[in-house]
Chain A
Amino acid sequence: MTREGIVNAVIALGLLLVPLWALWANEPFTITLATKVAILALAGVGLNLALGLGGLVSLGHAVFFGIGGYAMGILAQHAQTFDPIMEAPFLIEGTKSMPVIWLVAVVSSALAALAIGALSLRTSGVYFIMITLAFGQMFYYFAISWPAYGGEDGLSIYVRNEFPGLNTLNPIEFFGITYVLLLAALFLSARIAASPFGLALTSARQSPQRVETVGLRPFRLRLTVFVISGAITGLAGALFADLNRFVSPTMFSWQMSGEIMIFVILGGVARLFGPVAGAALFILLEHWLGGVSEYWLIWVGALLLAVVLFAPGGLIGLVTRGQK
């Protein structure tokens, strides 16, 4: 096993053992923290496909996170008020079923990524960053001014959604769901990175000319990865909303996009487990430093600066000393 493989296994095991220990020690709050790490890491895994493999610096991934969140919020809201979403021409009711909510979240965020990507991937560099940011702000202000679903106040869901065979209100069982989904997304990422598509995509990041010259089109490669990336981040959004039992326009905010990017950069861009390490560190800092000072983000800023300047491979790069 490579050094990075060992580090990844340790991280995966650690993220599983902490909540199990918390269960034994009767510390439900720690389980919730671990769940939050798993969900935010999942959002980061989504972004890391676009950012790490594709070199696409998207500052608009909150769009997909938010769409996933609102997919959950809207479906669950209609289910808890027994008020169908639409009656004509055919009946669509809300639902409390997680798998259905996930499917809706994934499909709608993938469609949004397809539309946003088709437009924004015609630009590159700083223009791409600005366009994705602009799309994020569009969705944010739309959510704020949409009174049907809470507007600025957001939507509260009273009871967590259901998963067949599990009691999702039990923190450790809900953690298990998020953990399995995270592992599945990581597995998917690793497969994509090693696939023919992944080779073409990472080559297009390094030399688009080269890729065109062998007869492949960088735009198509980037659009494909942008859609997959958006879909995974959308799934994370649905889980995040379920964790908090609350959705608000904040999920669409550019700060959210920035946070997801921070997970990836802290942990290590293009490193498989980078977003997991990054999200874990971020949540730990939020928990520890947040108790000391409400200005804890200053320290995250300083840390981010240090990582960018001195450890471009992020935490994972630091631990593996640049080895693959």
Chain B
Amino acid sequence: MSAPVLQIDGVTKRFGALVASDGVTLDLRPGEIHALIGPNGAGKSTLIAQIAGGLTPDAGRVVLDSADVTALDTAARAQAGLARTFQISALAMEHTVLQNAVLGALGARGGRLALFRSVLDDSELREKAEAALDRVGLSDAAGTVTAALSHGQRRQLEVAVALTLNPKVFLMDEPMAGLGMEGTAAMTTLLDSLRAEAPILLVEHDMDAVFKLADRISVLVAGRIIATGTPDAIRADAGVREAYLGDEAPA
């Protein structure tokens, strides 16, 4: 088995008496989609914030590509290769789709930002941005102002920006949220093809998509991982059924 690209190692976070993350340990291996599921209030958002860098754990480590990134901020983790997508689209709404993708390419390139050169004349950035838009099927909308995009297109753009970062890891927070049947199917196909680029830690409520895509699933309940395993193993796990899945799991 090859070494994991992302390791969450005993991460614990308390808010007063509430233990939002209770010694969470999970890893993400090359080429896989690892889904994190759990009921509302299980602590998924808190965990994501600690992985992405918005929140510092009280204990435990986050290791990205064998480097401890626990002390780094969001920007530094992005530079280290962590590409996050948001549940509620965080995009520059007044900018065009292309500008949003170029911003990603710009961040990935690093170094000093030029003050006087035209950003859209930079063919290196542009090509990278256009390739990412093409990959998610947004090429036709490149010149559209982001605010005018449909909900589904915004989700696609989130993924495109993440792609421009040449990430080592995707961290996706409910990429299917609010998508219709067709949108979910398209997103499922897209994510399926992305795992070749970099493994995905997928936080998702859509159980059909999770069971279709995931190589492994971890179940988070009340801040603890109660089970990790293949979709079949999770489906069969009595504890998981009791705590969370109920009759929701597709047979």
Interface residues of A (CB under 8 A from B): 188, 191-192, 194-200, 202-203, 206-207, 209-217, 221
Given contacts A194-B120, A212-B74, A215-B108, contact A207 B90 (CB under 8 A): yes
A199, A209, A214: the one within 8 Å of B99 (CB)? A199
**Whole-angstrom distance between the alpha carbons of A207 and B75 in the complex?**
14
Contact call A214/B78, Cβ cutoff below 8 A: yes
A195, A213, A221: the one within 8 Å of B119 (CB)? A195
Task: Tell yes or no: B191 within 8 A of A by CB.
Answer: no
**Whole-angstrom distance between the alpha carbons of A2 and B210 in the complex?**
48
Minimal beta-carbon separation of B94 from chain A (angstroms)? 6
Q: Which residue of A lies closest to B74 (CB)?
A: A212
Task: Tell yes or no: B104 within 8 A of A by CB.
Answer: yes
Contact call B110/A192, Cβ cutoff below 8 A: no
**Whole-angstrom distance between the alpha carbons of A250 and B137 in the complex?**
58
**Contact-size category for B:** 35 or more
Task: Tell yes or no: B91 within 8 A of A by CB.
Answer: yes
**Whole-angstrom distance between the alpha carbons of A206 and B95 in the complex?**
9
Contact call B103/A195, Cβ cutoff below 8 A: no
Interface residues of B (CB under 8 A from A): 52-53, 73-76, 78-79, 83-84, 86, 90-95, 99-100, 102-104, 106-108, 110, 113-120, 122, 125, 161, 164-165
Contact call A195/B90, Cβ cutoff below 8 A: no
Contact call A214/B113, Cβ cutoff below 8 A: no
Contact call B52/A213, Cβ cutoff below 8 A: yes
Contact call A200/B90, Cβ cutoff below 8 A: no
Contact call A210/B103, Cβ cutoff below 8 A: yes
Q: Which residue of B lies closest to A228 (CB)?
A: B115
Contacts of A197 in B (CB 8 A): 113-115
Contact call B119/A199, Cβ cutoff below 8 A: yes
Contacts of A214 in B (CB 8 A): 78, 103-104, 106-108, 161, 164-165
Q: Which residue of B lies closest to A206 (CB)?
A: B92
Contacts of B52 in A (CB 8 A): 213
Q: List 28 A-B contacts (CB under 8 A).
A: A191-B116, A191-B118, A192-B116, A194-B119, A195-B113, A195-B115, A195-B116, A196-B106, A196-B114, A196-B117, A196-B119, A196-B122, A197-B114, A198-B115, A199-B99, A200-B103, A203-B92, A203-B95, A210-B92, A210-B161, A212-B53, A212-B75, A213-B52, A214-B107, A214-B161, A215-B108, A216-B106, A221-B113
